[in-house]
Amino acid sequence: MASSRSGNPAKRAQQEGTAPRPATARDWIAASRPRTLGMAIAPVALGTAAAFNAEGYHLGIALACLALAVFLQIGVNFANDYSDGVRGTDAVRVGPGRLIGAGKAAPRTVRNVAIAFLAAGAVAGLAVVLLSGRWWLLLVGVVCIAAAWGYTGGKRPYGYYALGELMAFLFFGPVAVIGTVYAMLGRVTEDSVALGIAIGAISAALMLCNNLRDIETDRAAGKRSLATLIGRRASKALYVLLMLVPFVVLWIYSFALVYGVAVFAVLLIAGPAMVIVVMARTPRDLITALGLTGLTALLYGVGLAVAIWGGPAGFVIA
């Protein structure tokens, strides 16, 4: 006789007559996934540095862009917790625990927290528009918020159609860097495009590493990530390629920046991450690689931004 036990931890606890432990402050902080915040901080740091180099730096806009990026990143993390939780995708999870998947918080509560952070991001985006006077950026903000929710939310979440890496590349790369520069300068620079590609590649690598870790559970849940489509071997090769892209860009910049070469020290973090991914045999092997990839994004973005600030004026790629 088939078991009637639910795959959802909260419902299973009700069936068994036990109650899951309510989420603590530490659980909520963990669910915000602070290790992913490097993806939000790095592109804004690079965009601000590029604008400073072009003599268009604006502290207020920089802070508003940073708040926008951080709030949206936290919002999308809670939105993922909500959407994957109600779909049952997180019923069996290898990585950090989710609030709904672990039965620690009601779906409505997590959804409301996600909406609150996305709303805070909208307010920060409005501040960017008011400070810059570039009203059409409102449209960009709306698209960013829709993308944040649409990763796993809605009827056709793009994260379930192998588009997660592409969207991570775009929104945490060119869109974030170019958007920051444009808000300050009113134009797109060569530097903003190159820097956006560099940091976007790391963001895509982080997403790919996450999906590679979850490849078996995603297949079981019917989630079609890029990793489930191209397989482990191709995913590992693509991860390494994406992680090398920013250092190719850095090599070009190092000829024009006084402190550019020092940023290659980030390879001490990125290198082990690539080795771990290539050698990984189990999903748990990739947990460390995820942390190192996020740290790579933060150190690369902030490090190169500092190098740009300290470099000779007027540097450009071409």
Domain-embedded: residue 204: yes
Determine which of 14-28, 60-74, 93-107 has the lowest per-residue pLDDT on average: 14-28
Nearest to 222 by CA among 100, 84, 96: 84
Q: What is the pLDDT at residue 96?
A: 62
Q: Residue 18 falls within a domain, yes or no? A: no
Write out the chain in H/E/C secondary structure.
CCCCCCCCHHHHHHHHCCCCCCCCHHHHHHHCCHHHHHHHHHHHHHHHHHHHHCCCCCHHHHHHHHHHHHHHHHHHHHHHHHHHHHHCCCCCCCCCCCCCCCCCCCHHHHHHHHHHHHHHHHHHHHHHHHHHCCCCHHHHHHHHHHHHHHCCCCCCCHHHECCHHHHHHHHCCHHHHHHHHHHHHCCCCHHHHHHHHHHHHHHHHHHHHHHHHCHHHHHHHCCECHHHHHHHHHHHHHHHHHHHHHHHHHHHHCCCCCCHHHHHHHHHHHHHHHHHHHHCCCCCHHHHHHHHHHHHHHHHHHHHHHHHHHCCCCCCCC
Nearby residues of 308 by Cβ (< 8 Å), 6 or more positions away: 46, 49, 50, 52, 53, 191, 253, 257, 315
Q: What is the dihedral of CA 223, 226, 230, 231, to 10 degrees?
A: -60
Specify burial of residue 233 (Cβ count, 10 A radius: 0-12, 13-18, 19+): exposed
Assess contact for 149 and 143: CB atoms under 8 A: no
Total structural domains in the chain? 1
Average pLDDT value for residue range 63-67: 97
Average pLDDT of the chain, as a whole number: 88
Q: Could you tell me if residue 245 is inside a domain?
A: yes
Note the pLDDT of residue 5.
Answer: 45
**Could you tell me if residue 259 is inside a domain?**
yes
Other beta carbons within 10 Å of 87 = 17
The CATH number of the domain where 39 resides is what? 1.10.600
pLDDT digits 0-9 by tens, 238-259: 999 999 999 999 998 887 888 8
In whole angstroms, give the CA distance from residue 173 to residue 297. 11
Mean pLDDT of all residues in 106-119: 95
CA dihedral (25, 31, 35, 41) in degrees, to 10, reads: -90
Phi, psi torsion values for 8, nearest 5 degrees: -85, 125
Domain that includes residue 45, residue range: 32-218+227-310
First to last CA, the chain: 70
Report if residue 126 sits inside a domain.
yes
Residue at 7 is within a domain: no
Quick one: which of 180, 237, 235, 246 has its CA closest to 207?
A: 235
Residue 224 pairs in a beta bridge with 161
pLDDT given at position 255: 77
Residue 201 is assigned to a structural domain of this protein: yes
Give the pLDDT confidence score for residue 15 in this predicted structure.
47
At 158-195, the pLDDT tens digits run 988 999 999 999 999 999 999 999 999 999 999 999 99
Cα 122 to Cα 130: distance, rounded to the nearest angstrom: 12
**Whole-model pTM over 0.85:** yes
Please tell me the predicted confidence (pLDDT) of residue 35: 86
Q: Is residue 271 part of a domain?
A: yes
